[in-house]
Structure 1
Amino acid sequence: MKKRLKWAILGAAALVVVVMISYSRVARFWEEGDLSPVAEKKAEKVLPVRIMIPEMNTIDDIFKVAGSVMANESVDLRCESSGTITALHFQEGQYVKKGTLLLETNNEDLKALLSKQKHTLELNQKTAERQKQLLDKEAISREEYEISMNELFAIQSDIQHTKALIRKSQIYAPFNGKIGLRFVSEGAYIDNNVVVASLFNMDVAKIEFSVPEKYALEMRPGKKIYFTVAGQTQRFEAVVYAQESNIKESTRSLKIRARCSRNSDRLIAGQFANIQVVLNSFEEAMLLPTYAVVPELDVHKIYVLNGGVAEEREVELGVRTENKVQILSGLKSSDRVIISGLHQIKDGMRVLVKEVDA
């Protein structure tokens, strides 16, 4: 009997010890683990964030394209006839006016012929006048008078022909402009394949570029474009004045030309132009920084502050620039948008506002 009592007491004591150890471990698990609602609430993460109110401002729908600066007028100066250069009447880089004599080749024989023809012309004119007086007095026949007139007309034609030959031996400026570098010297023999120099008129600069066919109808005459060139911070303005009559099949693009009349003296023909074309302008557009929008598959999401909790929303985007994006739907102008910690944030997460951006 005593033995049974002894074993019963020992068993009860052991049971008490086991229960106490188990309770201690379970309690510790509830305090440290996720099973305790109280502990979970204490351990819930609060994310510090920055917020902002959507900006209401104007945004332009812009597409960019590359182009080239062209002279208003340009030409390679060549002599129509062959010969030895006897005179150069210009300097490299000189501004010349239309009609200025620039170059002469050896044309002394033509000038001598012209002088002879002019003397013959004077003689024939006097002869024709005398013949007319005699005809009026009926001292000669009309046939004799007509012969003298034909000789007069013939020499006049010869003079015109000689003057044309002399002009072909010379080069005149076809328009106002600036001469570039000279490629020949006096005494050189040239023909019509030799380029003497180039002449450029930059009173108005032309901008040539091509646009994809989807923008073809937007590029009507009168459309403004803006461009910059290397080495200058100035933004130039040009106006479209012409376009090619057809779209190029190999590139599906349309060639456009625009004129820049202001500050064209700061441009050089051949420069690379970075062109911006404004397709549309939206006033009072709702704007956010591009980094505030989280792309996810086929949707775009943002997070707004709602009672200390992050609320996930899907938004529809409009025009996008390098730094900003237009929000078309899914957001109100009074909403407070979370713009930091977006790689950590989740829908329904508690957040703490640390900074409010203007």
Structure 2
Amino acid sequence: MKRWVSISLIVLVLGGVIAYNKFFKSKPGEPGGVGGRGGAAGPAAGGRGPGGPTAVNAFVVVFQNLKDEVVASGSLVAAEQVDIYPEVSGRIVQLNIREGQPVSKGTLLLKLYDGDLQAQLQKLQVVEENNRRIEERNKRLLERGGISQQEYDIIVTNLKGALADIEITRAAIRRTEIRAPFSGTIGLRNVSMGAVVTPNTLIARLQQTSSMKLDFSIPEKYGLAVNVGSKVDFQVGGSDKTFQGAVYAIEPGVEEATRNLRIRARVNNSTSALRPGAFAKVNLVIRNDRALVVPTQSVIPQTRGSQVVVIKNGKAAFQDVKIGIRNASIVQITAGLQQGDTVATTGLIFLRPDAPVKVAKIDKLSGKSQPVKAASDTTNVTMR
């Protein structure tokens, strides 16, 4: 009995081995063997083949024009602006304000009643004429010795007093008139003919808008890069046009609350396309020069700096670099590379020092100069 059991076991084992070799084990060189039919036929893109170099894309380091810009919020201000108030109280007897129209310097805008002052002026002029005749007669008497010098000095003093009273009255009459202090455009008036006004009554606003001022602020770290004459570009709401201005004044001190530096630029508004008080998005070029640049993806951040992989003689070399300004696509290299160096832009996770590298493709940058905008440095200007 035991003999037949042993024979049966041997037959089952041999049958299993034959079935395995026939149905499950593939022939050498055929797909679908141990390890699965879907196994990779070669190295993955950016990876290393069996015993071969790692295939990567690369970039040749070049000089390119690079702009460093600060984006800030600003407001437009009229070159000259004044709110018109009367100096004295009175009733309006003449109103020459044409709303929204240009006026010339010295134009009479408003006249208050001055009948009492005119009468007083006439009275003082009569007194002045009488004192002048008295002075002339007494001057002849003094020359003949008919009066003393002291008596003549009193008469002269009375004449000068009358002349001073006349000037005071004329000054009071001038205060009843409001004239344009400069050429500009008059705004909307707030009074009507015959109204009684006081020094607290706003008559209208006069603005000079043929040229305008642009007020904005930038972080203090950019202060040394801005000088009188620096150019600024800006846009206003409702228009896609880019306007230009030139810096002509810089606040001497930094605002302690915001650590920003206030700057004022002059803007030509001969076409009257700009209005005072409008919001402006300002682009100030801090620096515009030629610099060594590499694609952003080629820079490897490190704990205390940055690295790039330089391809030399077909091998990878990890090089420490110092970076400058950057944007989404390019980074400025200030130290560590030279023009003509080749750096890897893909497959960086597969590379090791002195590992063999094969360049599959050379990447290129756009030929246009790309501005680098410090979005985190966007600042605001208080609207005035």
Task: Verify same fold: TM over 0.5.
Answer: yes
CA distance in 2, matches of 1:324, 1:236: 27
Give the residue type in structure 2 aligned to 1:17.
G
2:41 corresponds to: 42
Instruction: Give 2:182's match in structure 1, choosing from 175, 178, 196.
Output: 175
3-state SS, counterpart of residue 276 of structure 1: strand
2:254 corresponds to: 247
User: For residues 219 and 25 of structure 1, do their structure 2 counterparts lie closer, same or farther at Cα, with a shift above 3 Å needed?
Assistant: same
- Deviations for 1:168-191, whole angstroms, at most 9, x for unmatched residues? 222122222221111111111111
1:120 corresponds to: 127
User: For residues 103 and 322 of structure 1, do their structure 2 counterparts lie closer, same or farther at Cα, with a shift above 3 Å needed?
Assistant: farther
CA distance in 1, matches of 2:80, 2:202: 17
3-state SS, counterpart of residue 195 of structure 1: coil
Deviation of residue 66 (structure 1)? 1.1
Pairing 1:64-213 to 2, within 5 Å after superposition: 64-213=71-220
8 Å CA contact retained: 1:73, 1:201: yes
The two structures have a TM-score, normalised by structure 2, of: 0.73
TM-align CA RMSD:
4.2
Give the residue type in structure 2 aligned to 1:18.
G
8 Å CA contact retained: 2:298, 2:343: no
- Deviations for 1:299-320, whole angstroms, at most 9, x for unmatched residues? 7788999999999998754212
8 Å CA contact retained: 2:291, 2:332: no
Instruction: Give 1:267's match in structure 2, choosing from 262, 271, 274.
Output: 274
CA distance in 2, matches of 1:115, 1:304: 97
8 Å CA contact retained: 1:315, 1:331: no
Deviation of residue 87 (structure 1)? 0.8
Deviation of residue 59 (structure 1)? 0.6
Identity of aligned residues (%): 31
CA distance in 2, matches of 1:264, 1:131: 67
8 Å CA contact retained: 1:183, 1:196: yes
CA distance in 2, matches of 1:25, 1:308: 44
- 1:218 paired to 2:225: yes
- 1:234 paired to 2:242: yes
8 Å CA contact retained: 1:71, 1:200: yes
2:20 corresponds to: 22
CA distance in 2, matches of 1:306, 1:45: 23
CA distance in 1, matches of 2:273, 2:24: 84
Give the residue type in structure 2 aligned to 1:347.
F
Quick check: 298-307 or 90-99, which moved more?
Answer: 298-307
Consecutive unaligned residues in structure 1, runs of 5 or more: none
Deviation of residue 110 (structure 1)? 0.8
- 1:347 paired to 2:346: no
8 Å CA contact retained: 1:71, 1:204: yes
The two structures have a TM-score, normalised by structure 1, of: 0.77
User: For residues 266 and 6 of structure 1, do their structure 2 counterparts lie closer, same or farther at Cα, with a shift above 3 Å needed?
Assistant: closer
- Deviations for 1:108-137, whole angstroms, at most 9, x for unmatched residues? 111222233223323322332222223223
8 Å CA contact retained: 1:79, 1:169: yes
Consecutive unaligned residues in structure 2, runs of 5 or more: 47-54, 352-356, 367-384
Deviation of residue 202 (structure 1)? 2.7
8 Å CA contact retained: 1:211, 1:253: yes
CA distance in 2, matches of 1:163, 1:239: 44
8 Å CA contact retained: 1:51, 1:357: no
3-state SS, counterpart of residue 26 of structure 2: helix
CA distance in 2, matches of 1:89, 1:34: 102
Pairing 1:328-343 to 2, within 5 Å after superposition: 328=334, 329=336, 333=340, 335=342
- Deviations for 1:182-238, whole angstroms, at most 9, x for unmatched residues? 111111111111111111123432222222232333344444333222224123122
Give the residue type in structure 1 aligned to 2:24.
R
CA distance in 1, matches of 2:284, 2:58: 33
User: For residues 182 and 309 of structure 1, do their structure 2 counterparts lie closer, same or farther at Cα, with a shift above 3 Å needed?
Assistant: farther
2:290 corresponds to: 283
Quick check: 296-305 or 141-150, which moved more?
Answer: 296-305
CA distance in 2, matches of 1:194, 1:33: 99
Give the residue type in structure 2 aligned to 1:241.
A
CA distance in 1, matches of 2:258, 2:328: 27
Give the residue type in structure 2 aligned to 1:20.
I
User: For residues 283 and 351 of structure 1, do their structure 2 counterparts lie closer, same or farther at Cα, with a shift above 3 Å needed?
Assistant: closer
8 Å CA contact retained: 2:26, 2:33: no
Deviation of residue 50 (structure 1)? 8.5
8 Å CA contact retained: 1:57, 1:287: no
CA distance in 2, matches of 1:277, 1:11: 91
Deviation of residue 332 (structure 1)? 6.0
User: For residues 22 and 332 of structure 1, do their structure 2 counterparts lie closer, same or farther at Cα, with a shift above 3 Å needed?
Assistant: farther
Give the residue type in structure 1 aligned to 2:77.
M
8 Å CA contact retained: 1:239, 1:260: no
Quick check: 67-76 or 278-287, which moved more?
Answer: 278-287
Deviation of residue 250 (structure 1)? 2.2
3-state SS, counterpart of residue 72 of structure 1: strand
